[in-house]
């Protein structure tokens, strides 16, 4: 049975261009974040507490907001009010950047999917650090863990990637309960090469050298399009560099579920990604004790259960939230 969001709100949002609808939703949640009655209204969607503990943090429930929905960290109080167990903002880059040319988000309702080629559009680490400082000073900081997802600036050469990430880490770590390194977006040229053993090792060593005093849990977000050998190398590198968890997975370049006549370049998310992501979680869990945060194709309690059964400790949602709305959290937590 479809909920009120699916019957009334989604048709209105889907009547708009996908990116325009995204900006409208974020603007409304940003406004609500500064108005107490609006936050109290959003709290009606909160599921019952279902606490989880991972890498030293306690999560109100196991369902978090995936990076990408709130790239600039403008609506944290609203996400908290809606009931997320944790919130991940970003991807944030050292340099502010506008991202790729529009249009760059595409809906595929028949497949319950999205394709995006946004390209890390965000305000940059300096501006976002200032925004988060103001939020903390306002007394409206969320009651749940906040993760900050960081990535490479497009104009930074791959050889200088580690220093680019380090700049963002230095600017933002004091606001983060954990830091996620995005080395797997398909929309920044060459970024996925940073998943390779030597490059990933250099990146992790650079960040962890700085992290010895800050001691923030470091998480790595990986692609679903990995061979067995590539995955084994990534897992071994992460284990050797004290990574707290892996996020599995980012969007996929496998568009076989999308009719060729309507296909677009970019990363595919949503229901078609579900089994590919779940299969990768199984592979990681079979090879390692490193915790996994599942992301990809979580649309209901059944798909959430599949992630947990594969070995995931926490979940993150994005495209499922776009299609199913705020009732999805309660459905997952009550049924998973």
Instruction: State the catalytic residues.
Output: 185
Give the residue among 222, 225, 221, 218 at the shortest CA–CA distance from 240: 218
Residue located via tokens 């992790």: 204
DSSP string, 19-72: HHHHHHHHHHHHHHTT-HHHHHHHGGGPPPP--EEETTEEESSSEEEPTTTTTT
Could you tell me the sign of the dihedral formed by the alpha carbons of 329, 308, 276, 198, in that order?
A: positive
Greatest CA span in the chain, whole angstroms? 53
Which residues are registered as beta bridge partners of 295?
Answer: 316
Classify residue 158 by its DSSP letter: G
Say how far apart CA 107 and CA 109 lie, in whole Å: 6
Residue located via tokens 């809606």: 82
């Amino acid at each position: 049975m479809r909920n009120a969001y699916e019957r009334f709100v989604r048709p209105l949002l889907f009547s708009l261009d996908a990116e325009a609808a995204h900006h409208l939703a974020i603007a409304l949640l940003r406004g609500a974040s500064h108005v107490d009655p609006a936050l109290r209204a959003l709290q009606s969607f909160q599921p019952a507490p279902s606490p989880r503990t991972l890498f030293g943090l306690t999560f109100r429930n196991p369902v978090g907001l995936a990076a990408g929905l709130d790239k600039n960290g403008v609506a944290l109080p609203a996400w908290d009010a809606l009931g997320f167990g944790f919130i991940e903002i970003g991807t944030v880059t050292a340099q502010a950047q506008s991202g790729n040319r529009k249009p760059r988000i595409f809906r595929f309702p028949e497949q319950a999917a999205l394709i995006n080629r946004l390209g890390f559009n965000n305000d940059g680490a300096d501006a976002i650090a200032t925004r988060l400082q103001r939020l903390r000073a306002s007394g409206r900081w969320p009651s749940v863990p906040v993760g900050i997802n960081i990535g490479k600036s497009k104009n930074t050469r791959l050889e200088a990637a580690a220093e680019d990430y380090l700049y963002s880490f230095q600017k933002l770590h004091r606001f983060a309960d954990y830091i996620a390194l995005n080395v797997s977006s398909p929309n920044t040229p060459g970024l996925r090469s940073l998943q390779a053993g030597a490059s990933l090792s250099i990146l992790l060593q650079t960040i962890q050298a700085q992290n010895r005093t800050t001691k923030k849990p470091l998480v790595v977000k990986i692609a679903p399009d990995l061979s067995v050998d590539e995955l084994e190398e990534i897992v071994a590198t992460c284990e050797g560099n004290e990574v707290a968890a892996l996020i599995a997975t980012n969007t996929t370049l496998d568009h076989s579920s999308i009719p060729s006549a309507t296909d677009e370049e970019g990363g595919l998310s949503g229901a078609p990604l579900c089994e590919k992501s779940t299969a990768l979680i199984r592979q990681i869990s079979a090879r390692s004790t490193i915790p996994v945060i599942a992301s990809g194709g979580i649309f209901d309690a059944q798909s959430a259960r599949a992630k947990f059964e594969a070995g995931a400790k926490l979940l993150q949602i994005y495209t499922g939230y776009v299609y199913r709305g705020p009732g999805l959290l309660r459905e997952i937590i009550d049924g998973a």
